[in-house]
Structure 1
Amino acid sequence: MATIFQSHLFFTILLLLASLLDYSKVYGVESESYHVIQVTSLLPKRSCSTPSGFNQTGLKIVHRRGPCSPFGQEKASTREILMQDQSRVDSLMSRISSGSQRVKTQDTEVPAQLGSSLGTQNYIVTVGFGTPEKKLSIAFDTGSDFTWIQCSPCPPIKCYSQQEPLFDPSESTSYRNVSCDSPQCAQLDSATGNPHSCSSTCQYTVEYGDSSSSSGSFASETLTLTPSDVILNFPFGCGHENQGLFGRTAGLLGLGRDPLSLVSQTALKYNRVFSYCLPSPSSSDGYLKFGSDAITSSNLKFTQMGTNPKAPSFYFLTMIGIRVAGEDLPIQASTFASPGTIIDSGTVITRLQPAAYMELRSTFRKSMSNYTMTSEYEIFDTCYDFSGLETVNVPKIVLRFQGDVEVEVDVLGIFYPVNNSQICLAFVGNRYTDSLGIIGNRQQRKINVVYDVGGERVGFGAGGCS
């Protein structure tokens, strides 16, 4: 009799636990597997606010189109943002497939060596160029190596409109043109992806996958990151002809691994270490740090940084799995192996190998079965209508990497709001199994991401700018 009673009690407890799980999904009880979130928090904010208790050091990062931006809130439709993001993805994929004449991307075939990446460039920092220092707001990019800014003379027909006044090299006492016979001039080709040219001084041209471009004089200048972080004789492009989708930024800061990148040029000063935290939501701010200040968090976990000889400046990671709502998805680690996965600050939406995305989507939809699905939008195929709801329960998503490193995606990084009644899962599956996986910036929000390039490792710490 005791055995029958114990069995009955056991199954009663199981049913109770199952009902509590269902209750939490419907009525908003926070758990280890689910977030509870206000629906209004998924929508863009109009005012800028610094997170409570956030003690920022280093360079302040702001979203280019958010209310904290020095440009005001730049306007761009979701369709435009996604198209620019796809251009960047196509560019990244073309660089990793440089051995072929044409490369398969999401929707078509494009020429190999499409150009350096660019795309939406969501996040910007403000740095100083020259002596005396001139403050300029520029995009930063781990997928690019070459740093450049617009310089006068720069007639309107050859340059785009930026927020701050153009940098005038004639007003700086520390500006120097790089000579044609300089070793640095020869390094331009790998950093820009284009052959350099020479007149009286070294000249550069960099072309991006979205047809944007910059060309001008290759020079050196004093770069001021913070009052205590000043880099002398920093090589950069002084652009006199610049066209494309740069918004109102003054240029681009390259954080790749090429010898001309900021990371390599400051190796003695910062030991090739930097970190950032991208703000979540975009109405807040984050940070970009260099050197010993970049590794201050006690909760960091590191995974090995990989390299692909076809794109040696990219930051590769060994991805091994995904967890959704506490469930490890049945994905073989080999699914992510070829050609691998990179982490990238400039791509917005994470791209996954087809089999991995299908498992993610299936489990996510099952976990969200209590909510109303709505129509697909552009690259997004899993969208919901949360109209009339105050809160929703969202399954937690964890990205798993080599070395027992698990990165929980911030809840605002799980979704992309198209409009008030169309909130979409912010992941996309590649069309081809041999396409590059990319961890985008939306899934990096609020995480302290540390690049220890010298140590060949990447670290992740929760709550970096929350």
Structure 2
Amino acid sequence: MANSLLINLLQIFLLFLSFSTHALGLLKFHVIDVHALTSKNVCSPPKDMERFRSVKPTLAIVNRHGPCSTLHSVEKSLEQILSIDQSRVDSIHRQISAISGTGKTSGPLSSSQITAQSGGSFGVGAYIVEIGIGTPSKTLTLLFDTGSSVTWTQCKPCLRFCYTQHDPIFDPSQSSTYMNVTCNSAPCNVVNNNSCSGSSCLYGVRYGDRSYTVGYYAEDTLTLTPDVIHNFRFGCGQNNNGTFGEVAGLLGLGPSSESFVSQTSDKYQRVFAYCLPALSSSTGYLNFGSNSDISNTNRTPITKQPNSGLYYYITMTGLSVAGDTLPISSTVFSNAGTIIDSGTTITQLPPDAYQALRSAFREHMTQYKMVPGISMFDTCYDFTGFDSVTIPTVGIQFLNNVSIDLVPNGILYAISSSQVCLAFASNSDPSDTGIFGNVQQKTFNVVYDIPNGEIGFSPEAC
């Protein structure tokens, strides 16, 4: 009897051990529905509607190309999407190199240069929010971008050119609180490429894909329901070119003094948080101030750089695949530095880091047929005929022992079931700054706590 009981206990122990090992193994892999990698045709509401409604001010974030968007999106090929994204990456690298004096140049923006530009598409895979400007308030759909600081919208009259946008173009003559910023004033002196027209301050911004906006630098009331922000400074663009995808302009959340974050520091203490949804058919959020969900986040320092006024720098320290830390020297990341950017789609890694990631990922995917790459993607698979697939987890480590595991939609980029690619890219030069892009940020609550010099991450937020 005792022997029988002992045998039963031993069997239970072995079964538990087997189950535990299996469970631990699953932590290293994602078993995913292939269809879950692509967006639906119907918009999904925020994951936590009660929280979304209770935290104020909270703006809904949607992908401008998805069914949650009110914009009439023009379909683009993947080659176009990645080419436009690469234009932004190249522009960021030129800006940083010019400031740090490493040889690449990006000259100042002159009016002659601007008007000669034919413009291209501005960003792809970008996320939009709705805000109000003027008195009475007019609702405008803007891109939100942590890699830009000047907020701007198209304004009447369009002196040379305005592109087609979904919302009515803002008419400053219909706002009782609108005024131009005075030339040679402190706000005028810090705005991008400023000049003067009489006593009024002018601004100009040129983007990496040759899109641009030029006009008066102005002040007016900005509304984030229920909050009202008086004397908010923004660009009132009267010469704008580029395929902006029917957005009315841009909400700049960068670190510079002219950004929304800096201008509203008294009200929101330079704290904001956002969550980018896993699919373009889902809804995320952007909120500001002490009401932002800043607790329970793993925090890494915002590191200081000579050009920290342009971008938010964080220190990437390592990568893991299927739970195993890859053998990458920390200097590979520290030599070039890394920025976090909501406007860049695909994370850009130093060449050595990308090669290590690609090699390890491929080792765990030998059961699937590889297919030719496309554009910056060189590790792609054919999942035709599979209802579900198993992929290794991918983790990213940052300073302060912060480690995040990416969701499947942050690891793979699905063109179709027959071409699903590893969603990372390699910088062409080891000295180029790394970029932590928006695909890898999906579903994380990303908190920017500027006063404490930290950026935090918490999973499964939207």
Q: Does 1:164 align with 2:132?
A: no
Contact conserved, 1:91 with 1:114, CA < 8 A, in 2?
no
Q: Does 1:346 align with 2:350?
A: no
Alpha-carbon offset, residue 17 of structure 1 = 6.9
| 1:221-272 deviation per Cα after TM superposition (whole angstroms, max 9, x unaligned) | 1001121x21100000101110013110000111111111001001111111
Contact conserved, 2:145 with 2:342, CA < 8 A, in 1?
yes
Q: Does 1:33 align with 2:36?
A: no
SS in 2 for 1:312: coil
Taking a change above 3 Å as real, the CA distance of residues 240 and 374 of structure 1, as seen in their structure-2 partners, is same
Equivalent residue number for residue 386 of structure 1:
383
SS in 2 for 1:376: coil
Equivalent residue number for residue 200 of structure 1:
199
Q: Does 1:112 align with 2:109?
A: no
Which 5+ residue runs of structure 2 have no aligned equivalent?
Answer: 1-9, 115-120
Equivalent residue number for residue 213 of structure 1:
212
Which amino acid in structure 2 is aligned with residue 242 of structure 1?
N
Question: 225, 242, 245: which one pairs with 1:244?
Answer: 242
Taking a change above 3 Å as real, the CA distance of residues 364 and 138 of structure 1, as seen in their structure-2 partners, is same
Equivalent residue number for residue 4 of structure 2:
none
The aligned length equals 431
Alpha-carbon offset, residue 52 of structure 1 = 4.6
Query: 2: CA distance between counterparts of 1:358 and 1:332?
Result: 13
Question: 145, 149, 156: which one pairs with 1:152?
Answer: 156
Q: TM-score, normalised by structure 1?
A: 0.88
Alpha-carbon offset, residue 102 of structure 1 = 5.3
Alpha-carbon offset, residue 73 of structure 1 = 4.2
Query: 1: CA distance between counterparts of 2:25 and 2:76?
Result: 35
User: Which residues in structure 2 correspond to 1:211-360 (within 5 Å)?
Assistant: 211-227=210-226, 229-294=227-292, 296=293, 298-360=295-357
SS in 2 for 1:215: strand
Alpha-carbon offset, residue 437 of structure 1 = 0.4
Equivalent residue number for residue 175 of structure 1:
178
SS in 2 for 1:97: helix
Matched-pair identity in %: 47
Query: 1: CA distance between counterparts of 2:18 and 2:333?
Result: 35
Which amino acid in structure 1 is aligned with residue 288 of structure 2?
F
| 1:384-437 deviation per Cα after TM superposition (whole angstroms, max 9, x unaligned) | 000000000111111101111111111111111122310000001112111110
Q: Does 1:131 align with 2:129?
A: no
Alpha-carbon offset, residue 74 of structure 1 = 3.6
Q: TM-score, normalised by structure 2?
A: 0.89
Query: 1: CA distance between counterparts of 2:30 and 2:108?
Result: 40
Contact conserved, 2:188 with 2:194, CA < 8 A, in 1?
no
Contact conserved, 2:122 with 2:242, CA < 8 A, in 1?
no
Equivalent residue number for residue 7 of structure 2:
none
Q: Does 1:91 align with 2:94?
A: no
Alpha-carbon offset, residue 298 of structure 1 = 3.9
Which 5+ residue runs of structure 1 have no aligned equivalent?
Answer: 1-8, 104-110
Contact conserved, 2:336 with 2:430, CA < 8 A, in 1?
no
| 1:290-343 deviation per Cα after TM superposition (whole angstroms, max 9, x unaligned) | 10112x254211110012213423111111111111111111111101220011
Taking a change above 3 Å as real, the CA distance of residues 339 and 198 of structure 1, as seen in their structure-2 partners, is farther
| 1:51-102 deviation per Cα after TM superposition (whole angstroms, max 9, x unaligned) | 5544324000000101101114442111111111000000111111005585
SS in 2 for 1:246: coil
SS in 1 for 2:157: coil
Contact conserved, 2:38 with 2:279, CA < 8 A, in 1?
no
